[in-house]
């Protein structure tokens, strides 16, 4: 919109022959310089993503982005008119830049519009910009946020912060350990500010972003064509996608603060194994290097761990991978002193204003802080991580990485102050390990547990968790909200300390809470129990009949869950998804923070209230089948009260879904097989499709190298019968040529008259129909080189 005064000003400039003009560079970007010397550049990163840069006279725009992957590959068409430059991307984003004022209008369809007035205020060392939005809607994301799913109306601080023992509803969990200056709209678009400095983002209209960055700030507009699913695909293409996980990371991992000795560690594993628990990992807290004050030593305590190499090898032989802790600090008051003196003398610690080591005080002592912006510090750390990995360490735990204590007087080797660098510290620390594995262990997948960082953190194979949550019902309740906002922001593996970490001395032991938390954890990206005490499941003897089957159920879902990992690696889709993930322009589930989609086809509704034996459930679009009782169906939009005694996790399957499972016992993921599946089909009128992912489960580059298989299932149900077509594409080393498939066809009204496989009718005794379950079961062997057609009449 133009006002009379603006039109008059343009006319005056035209008559004077000095009207600003638009420059069009290689049909990829447009740039403007206003009469006041302000620069505006709009470039197409892709057909659905544009970058807007705006800087004042005398300033320099950063050459490369930090939060996102650099690139420019969009297709655009451009045009100019007096005072206006227009660019249209191949994905339908229309950008209008006013060459007089520097204002930018961006539109990608109804309700997918933002306006930037072009003003960049500099006051008190802070930069401020405003974006006006069009159309009502909700906002999500901004990293790890636990106060509410919808962040509209919030004032969000972009400065990573630890919240020990937090619970639901506390104001402090608006600001948590991983903050990201970005938001997604329920109307199907997103905005990412390419910034990592301390900042705030006021989610009003206009949205006000204020940063302490000394450099001009660019932002990206992402067109998601109306749905959050599309937005996350585009967002992850911009900020980076996480590689496939080590397969063992999808199993059960035990952890505690902490296992003090080699003997205790082996005893815990032995007790779990003897009780029948499958186990894939154990996490060692700070006692692996000695006492708390030995932080930064980065060497095993030989007294308590006399033969740690043999321990690591023995555990690995039994399918158990060992993860050890590391922190950003190195203390002087313990056995880390020698390392401290070396690093201080070489200038490898964060410095103070005098050029000496910045003094850091944490709860266990005093010392310094690794400056991971310094290439030499990175090399020093990398060498020690390498040596420990060669000894048999299977994964890494980066604790305190906000960083929890980060003196504002600190100065980093890259010239940034503590407040400028604080949020980025976790990314750079994670990249030390990621770079090490890429160069020294290129055949190994990486798991790094990290609790601090900012936009793009997922690029470094990070598996974050929601830190030191209270062991209480109030601690359990915000975990879904945290996983949802984090997942939409790019952190598809955000999880939590199952059972609750920070114990209330007045209520240290709550078996009901442990079971309910474990039910949520079974359908969380990472299943890891962790607490200050009684963390392991065998500590709850009266609930073993619930707990043991739950953890075994985790392994039963490995085919489905690993396919979710593939969807994350290939498309950027989070494993935990909001109920409106696939709904265009919908915000009607904003208040539902105790349900979520596990992938596309599973609705999880855990009980999160003490003493509850039933709960209200709202169903998203579609028809839903009760997983616990497949004879019960519910329509999308319905609200029901569902009976849920302690042993029941409310779980529902989208009608039409095809769900692969591993229906056999495992001691660890080492027992997983790709030549044997149980295929559950919940037929619904019309066509259904599902793709199962397979690879060798070890190679980091299986996707890039095309060393994987996709098993495509197509189901179609009609009044005449049910058809299932199965085909395979691609292969990988060790891929089986023949698969044993057990089919469970649910929702079958009656005993079929025939079951045919590739035109050959099975003998009557080759299938079983369970009338009470309305389920048809049969088994076949399938040669994957040939498509398979099944017809049920």
Q: Examine the pLDDT at 17 and tell me if it is beyond 50.
A: no
Token look-up 């906000």 returns 402
Q: What is the mean pLDDT of residues 387-414?
A: 98
Rounded to the nearest 5°, which phi and psi values hold at 715?
A: -115, 145
Q: Examine the pLDDT at 13 and tell me if it is beyond 60.
A: no
d(CA 53, CA 66): 14
CATH number at residue 737: 2.60.40.1180
For residue 71, the model assigns a pLDDT of: 67
Q: Examine the pLDDT at 584 and tell me if it is beyond 60.
A: yes
pLDDT tens-digit profile of 474-488?
999 999 999 999 999
Q: Examine the pLDDT at 269 and tell me if it is beyond 90.
A: yes
For residue 6, the model assigns a pLDDT of: 37
For residue 587, the model assigns a pLDDT of: 81
d(CA 263, CA 306): 10
For residue 67, the model assigns a pLDDT of: 80
Q: What is the mean pLDDT of residues 733-760?
A: 97
For residue 123, the model assigns a pLDDT of: 83
Q: Is 197 helix (H, G, I), strand (E, B) or coil?
A: coil
Q: Examine the pLDDT at 416 and tell me if it is beyond 90.
A: yes
Establish whether 399 is a catalytic residue: yes
Pair 219, 258: CB distance under 8 Å: no
Q: How many domains does the chain have?
A: 1
Q: Examine the pLDDT at 27 and tell me if it is beyond 70.
A: no
Give whole-number Cα distances, 760 to 552, 715, 780, in Å.
36, 18, 12
| pLDDT grade for 11, boundaries at 50, 70 and 90 | very low
For residue 12, the model assigns a pLDDT of: 30
| pLDDT grade for 28, boundaries at 50, 70 and 90 | confident
Task: From 169, 162, 173, select the one nearest 474 (Cα to Cα).
Answer: 169
pLDDT tens-digit profile of 520-549?
999 999 999 999 999 999 999 999 999 999
| pLDDT grade for 15, boundaries at 50, 70 and 90 | very low
Q: Examine the pLDDT at 310 and tell me if it is beyond 90.
A: yes
Task: From 445, 648, 454, select the one nearest 562 (Cα to Cα).
Answer: 445
Q: Angle formed by the axes of helices 375-391 and 337-346, to 10°?
A: 150
Residue 177 counted as domain residue: no
For residue 586, the model assigns a pLDDT of: 76
Q: Give the active site residue among 468, 590, 594, 716.
A: 468
Q: Model pTM?
A: 0.96
Q: Which residues contact 415 (CB under 8 A, 6 or more apart)?
A: none
Q: Examine the pLDDT at 577 and tell me if it is beyond 50.
A: yes
Q: Examine the pLDDT at 10 and tell me if it is beyond 90.
A: no
| pLDDT grade for 3, boundaries at 50, 70 and 90 | very low
DSSP per residue over 463-479, as a string? Answer: --B--SBEESHHHHTTH
- Find residue 689's DSSP bridge partners: 714
Establish whether 314 is a catalytic residue: no
Residue 710 counted as domain residue: yes
| pLDDT grade for 7, boundaries at 50, 70 and 90 | very low
d(CA 739, CA 784): 7
Residue 136 counted as domain residue: no
Strands 676-681 and 738-745: parallel
Residue 188 counted as domain residue: no
Q: Examine the pLDDT at 378 and tell me if it is beyond 70.
A: yes
Token pair, residue 782, equals 């399938």
Residue 379: asked if its preceding bond is cis (omega within 30°), the reply is no
For residue 26, the model assigns a pLDDT of: 58
Q: Is 543 helix (H, G, I), strand (E, B) or coil?
A: helix
| pLDDT grade for 16, boundaries at 50, 70 and 90 | very low
Rounded to the nearest 5°, which phi and psi values hold at 670?
A: -60, -20
Q: Give the active site residue among 144, 195, 234, 399.
A: 399
Residue 756 counted as domain residue: yes
d(CA 569, CA 581): 18
Q: Examine the pLDDT at 219 and tell me if it is beyond 50.
A: yes
Report the residue count for the chain.
793
Rounded to the nearest 5°, which phi and psi values hold at 7?
A: -60, -40
Identify the sign of the CA torsion 724, 730, 734, 738. Answer: positive
Q: What angle do CA 70, 74, 75 make, to 5 degrees?
A: 160
pLDDT tens-digit profile of 418-477?
999 999 999 999 999 999 999 999 999 999 999 999 999 999 999 999 999 999 999 999
Q: Give the active site residue among 154, 402, 497, 695.
A: 402
Question: Burial code of 40-68, b = ≥16 C-beta within 10 A, e = fewer?
Answer: bbbbbbbbbbbbbbbbeeeeeeeeebbbb
Q: What is the mean pLDDT of residues 337-355?
A: 98
Residue 511 counted as domain residue: no
Pair 298, 286: CB distance under 8 Å: no
Q: Which residues contact 451 (CB under 8 A, 6 or more apart)?
A: 162, 177, 178, 398, 399, 400, 401, 402, 426, 464, 465, 467
Q: Is 744 helix (H, G, I), strand (E, B) or coil?
A: strand
Rounded to the nearest 5°, which phi and psi values hold at 601?
A: -115, 0
Q: Which residues contact 505 (CB under 8 A, 6 or more apart)?
A: none
Residue 706 counted as domain residue: yes
Q: Examine the pLDDT at 124 and tell me if it is beyond 90.
A: no
Q: What is the mean pLDDT of residues 541-558?
A: 99
Establish whether 402 is a catalytic residue: yes
Task: From 394, 215, 410, 371, select the one nearest 312 (Cα to Cα).
Answer: 394
Q: What is the mean pLDDT of residues 55-63?
A: 87
- Across all residues in the chain, what is the average pLDDT? 95
Q: Examine the pLDDT at 8 and tell me if it is beyond 80.
A: no
Rounded to the nearest 5°, which phi and psi values hold at 540?
A: -125, 70
Segment holding 228, helix H or strand E: helix 228-239
| pLDDT grade for 20, boundaries at 50, 70 and 90 | low
pLDDT tens-digit profile of 230-252?
999 999 999 999 999 999 999 99
Segment holding 634, helix H or strand E: strand 633-635
d(CA 539, CA 527): 17
Pair 720, 753: CB distance under 8 Å: no
Q: Is 341 helix (H, G, I), strand (E, B) or coil?
A: helix
Strands 252-255 and 527-529: parallel
Residue 258 counted as domain residue: no
pLDDT tens-digit profile of 44-58?
999 999 999 999 988
Q: Angle formed by the axes of helices 228-239 and 558-571, to 10°?
A: 60
Between 55-69, 70-84, 266-280, 539-553, the lowest mean confidence (pLDDT) is in 70-84
What percentage of the chain exceeds 90 in pLDDT? 89
What percentage of the chain exceeds 70 in pLDDT? 96
Q: What is the mean pLDDT of residues 616-635?
A: 97
| pLDDT grade for 155, boundaries at 50, 70 and 90 | very high
**Alpha helices for 276-321 (secondary structure H):** 308-317
Q: Which residues contact 578 (CB under 8 A, 6 or more apart)?
A: 140, 149, 228, 484, 488, 589, 596, 597
Residue with the bigger pLDDT between 727 and 764: it is: 727
Q: Which domain holds residue 684?
A: 673-792
């Amino acid at each position: 919109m133009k006002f009379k005064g603006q039109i008059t000003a343009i006319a005056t400039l035209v008559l004077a022959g000095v009207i600003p003009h638009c420059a069009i560079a290689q049909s990829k970007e447009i740039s403007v310089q206003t009469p006041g010397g302000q620069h505006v550049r709009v470039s197409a990163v892709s057909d659905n993503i544009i970058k807007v840069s705006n800087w004042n006279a005398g300033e320099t725009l950063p050459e490369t982005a930090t939060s996102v992957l650099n690139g420019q590959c969009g297709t655009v068409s451009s045009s100019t008119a007096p005072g206006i430059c227009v660019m249209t991307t191949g994905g339908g984003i229309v950008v209008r830049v006013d060459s007089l004022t520097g204002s930018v209008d961006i539109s990608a369809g109804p309700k997918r519009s933002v306006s930037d007035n072009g003003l960049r205020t500099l006051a008190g060392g802070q930069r401020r910009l405003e974006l006006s939005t069009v159309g009502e809607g909700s906002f999500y994301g901004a990293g790890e946020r636990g106060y509410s799913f919808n962040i509209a109306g919030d004032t969000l601080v972009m400065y990573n912060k630890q919240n020990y023992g937090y619970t639901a509803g506390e104001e402090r969990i608006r600001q948590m350990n991983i903050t990201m200056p970005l938001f997604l709209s329920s109307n199907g678009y997103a905005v990412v500010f390419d910034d990592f400095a301390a900042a705030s983002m006021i989610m009003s209209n206009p949205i006000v972003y204020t940063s302490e960055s000394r450099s001009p700030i660019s932002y990206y507009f992402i067109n998601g064509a109306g749905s959050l699913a599309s937005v996350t695909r585009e967002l992850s293409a911009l900020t980076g996608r996480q590689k496939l996980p080590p397969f063992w990371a999808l199993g059960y991992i035990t952890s505690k603060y902490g296992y003090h000795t080699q003997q205790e560690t082996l005893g815990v594993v032995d007790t779990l194994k003897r009780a029948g628990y499958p186990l894939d990992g154990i996490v060692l807290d700070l006692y692996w290097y000695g006492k708390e004050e030995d932080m930064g030593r980065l060497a095993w305590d030989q007294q308590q761990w006399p033969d740690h190499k043999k321990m690591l090898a023995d555990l690995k032989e039994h399918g158990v991978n060992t993860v050890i802790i590391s922190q950003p600090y190195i203390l002087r008051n313990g056995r880390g002193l020698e390392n401290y003196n070396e690093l201080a003398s070489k200038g490898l610690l964060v410095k103070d204003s005098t050029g000496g080591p910045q003094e850091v005080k944490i709860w266990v002592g005093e010392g310094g802080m690794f400056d991971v912006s310094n290439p030499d510090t990175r090399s020093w750390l990398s060498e020690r991580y390498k040596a420990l990995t060669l000894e048999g360490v299977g994964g890494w735990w980066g604790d305190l990485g906000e960083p929890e204590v980060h003196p504002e007087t600190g100065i980093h080797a890259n010239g940034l102050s503590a407040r400028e660098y604080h949020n980025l510290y976790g990314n750079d620390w994670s990249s030390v390990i990621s770079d090490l594995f890429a160069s020294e262990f290129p055949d190994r997948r990486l798991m790094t547990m990290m609790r601090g960082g900012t936009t793009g953190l997922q690029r470094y194979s990070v598996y974050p968790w929601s830190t030191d949550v209270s062991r209480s019902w109030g601690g359990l309740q915000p975990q879904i909200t945290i996983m949802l906002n984090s997942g939409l922001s790019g952190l598809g593996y955000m999880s939590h300390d199952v059972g609750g970490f920070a114990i209330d001395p007045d209520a240290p032991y709550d078996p009901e809470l442990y079971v309910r938390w474990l039910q949520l954890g079974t359908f969380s990206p990472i299943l890891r129990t962790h607490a200050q005490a009684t963390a392991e499941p065998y500590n709850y003897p009266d609930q073993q009949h619930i707990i043991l089957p739950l953890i075994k159920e985790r392994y039963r879902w490995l085919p489905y869950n690993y396919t979710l990992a593939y969807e994350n690696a290939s498309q950027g889709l989070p494993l935990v998804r909001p109920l409106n993930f696939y709904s265009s322009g919908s915000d009607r589930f904003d208040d539902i923070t105790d349900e979520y989609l596990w992938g596309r086809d599973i609705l999880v509704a855990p009980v999160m209230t003490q003493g509850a034996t039933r709960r209200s459930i709202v169903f998203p679009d579609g028809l839903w089948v009760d997983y616990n009782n497949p004879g019960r169906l519910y329509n999308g939009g319905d609200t029901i009260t569902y009976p849920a005694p302690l042993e029941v996790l409310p779980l529902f399957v989208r009608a039409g879904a095809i769900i692969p499972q591993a229906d056999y016992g495992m001691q660890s993921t080492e027992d997983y097989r790709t030549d044997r599946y149980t295929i559950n089909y919940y037929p619904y009128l019309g066509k259904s499709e599902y793709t199962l992912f397979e690879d060798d489960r070890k190679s980091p580059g299986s996707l890039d190298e095309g060393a994987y298989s996709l098993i495509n299932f197509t189901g179609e149900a009609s009044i005449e019968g049910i058809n299932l077509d199965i085909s395979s594409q691609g292969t990988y080393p060790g891929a089986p040529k023949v698969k044993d498939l057990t089919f469970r066809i649910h929702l079958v009204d009656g005993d079929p008259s025939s079951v045919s496989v590739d035109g050959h009718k099975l003998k009557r005794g080759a299938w079983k129909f369970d009338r009470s379950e309305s389920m048809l079961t049969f088994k076949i062997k399938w040669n994957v080189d040939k498509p398979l057609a099944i017809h049920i009449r």
